């Protein structure tokens, strides 16, 4: 066997091994890239959710002012800088909580079955609003107290209620002839009344004044029935 033949054979094996190794590296890089891109989206969503849950927990237990972004990040198991990156700071986190709560409420409202007539539908919406206010009483304490010193939050909250909750309730009431006959001003009065019933009898009187919430709900139901049948 000639030296030239052996040298050529070794050189061929070297190139084959080099190409094989290069292809293996490229393949590993492609796999790593695919693995690192998709989880990044899932990780952000999970971290945002964790920060929202930690925010509502600490805002409820310590108050908005006392709760720090460092504490929120620690409870969430995330870096503090993510609060600023995802939400623009503590105020943005609270605003995100408001939007998220509104989304959950609309999903819940969409699952409420329609009543058989206008009066029953109005009363059903009042009862739903009262129950939601009571369930969200910890969150309401945060938002109401903060909106009193931060008009921008109150403005955004009002816009979200009008564009989401009131619009959805208007659609439900217009499902009936009595609702269709109401002019725009009359319909707005009815949807505003639902909100007032909910806030007063679902939050203010039972939570702030310490009244029995079941008795308050019964009173609101009777008043809502009187208002509905008068339309």
Q: Do 201 and 170 fall within a single domain?
A: yes
Q: Is the pLDDT of residue 83 over 70?
A: yes
Whether the Cβ atoms of residue 140 and residue 203 lie closer than 8 Å to each other: yes
> How do residues 96-121 score in pLDDT, each as one tens digit?
999 999 899 999 999 999 999 999 99
Confidence category of residue 23, pLDDT binned at 50, 70, 90: low
Q: Give the helix/strand (H/E) hosting 126.
A: helix 118-135
Question: 């109005």: which residue's tokens?
Answer: 122
Domain count for the chain, please give it.
Answer: 2
- Which of 84, 104, 123 is the last residue in one of the domains? 84
What would the two tokens of residue 87 be?
């939400």
Percent pLDDT > 90 in the chain is 62
**Residue 153 confidence (pLDDT):** 86
Show the domain range for 60.
3-84
- Measuring CA to CA, how many Å separate 89 from each of 100, 148, 158? 16, 19, 21
Task: Provide the 8-state DSSP code for 67.
Answer: -
Q: Quick one: CA dihedral 158, 220, 146, 108, positive or negative? A: negative
Confidence category of residue 20, pLDDT binned at 50, 70, 90: low
Q: Is the pLDDT of residue 80 over 90?
A: yes
- State the Cα angle at 24 between 21 and 25, rounded to 5°: 90
What would the two tokens of residue 37 be?
């891109």
Whether the Cβ atoms of residue 125 and residue 83 lie closer than 8 Å to each other: no
Mean pLDDT of 50-67: 92
Q: Is the pLDDT of residue 10 over 50?
A: no
Q: Do 141 and 53 fall within a single domain?
A: no
- For residues 62 and 41, the model is more confident at 62
- Which of 55, 84, 113 is the last residue in one of the domains? 84
Whether the Cβ atoms of residue 132 and residue 202 lie closer than 8 Å to each other: yes
**Residue 108 confidence (pLDDT):** 94
Q: Global pTM?
A: 0.76
Q: Do 95 and 60 fall within a single domain?
A: no
**Residue 40 confidence (pLDDT):** 40
Q: The domain that contains 128 carries what CATH number?
A: 1.10.357
- Which of 18, 53, 84 is the last residue in one of the domains? 84
Q: The domain that contains 71 carries what CATH number?
A: 1.10.10.60
């Amino acid at each position: 066997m000639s030296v030239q033949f052996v040298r050529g054979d070794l050189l061929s094996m070297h190139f084959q091994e080099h190409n094989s190794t290069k292809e293996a590296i490229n393949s590993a890089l492609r796999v790593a890239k695919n693995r690192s891109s998709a989880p990044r989206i899932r990780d952000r969503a999970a971290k945002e959710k964790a920060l929202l849950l930690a925010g509502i927990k600490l805002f409820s237990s310590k108050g908005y002012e006392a709760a720090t972004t460092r504490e929120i990040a620690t409870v969430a198991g995330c870096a503090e800088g993510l609060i600023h990156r995802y939400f623009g700071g503590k105020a943005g986190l609270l605003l995100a909580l408001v939007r998220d709560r509104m989304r959950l409420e609309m999903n819940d409202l969409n699952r409420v079955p329609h009543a058989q007539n206008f009066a029953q539908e109005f009363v059903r919406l009042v009862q739903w609003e009262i129950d939601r206010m009571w369930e969200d009483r910890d969150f309401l304490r945060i938002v109401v107290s903060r909106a009193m010193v931060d008009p921008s939050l109150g403005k955004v909250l009002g816009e979200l209620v009008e564009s989401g909750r009131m619009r959805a309730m208007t659609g439900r009431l217009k499902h009936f002839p009595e609702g269709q006959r109401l002019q725009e001003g009359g319909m707005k009065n009815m949807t505003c009344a639902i909100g007032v019933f909910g806030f007063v009898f679902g939050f203010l009187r039972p939570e702030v004044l310490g009244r029995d919430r079941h008795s308050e709900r019964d009173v609101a139901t009777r008043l809502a029935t009187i208002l509905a049948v008068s339309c």
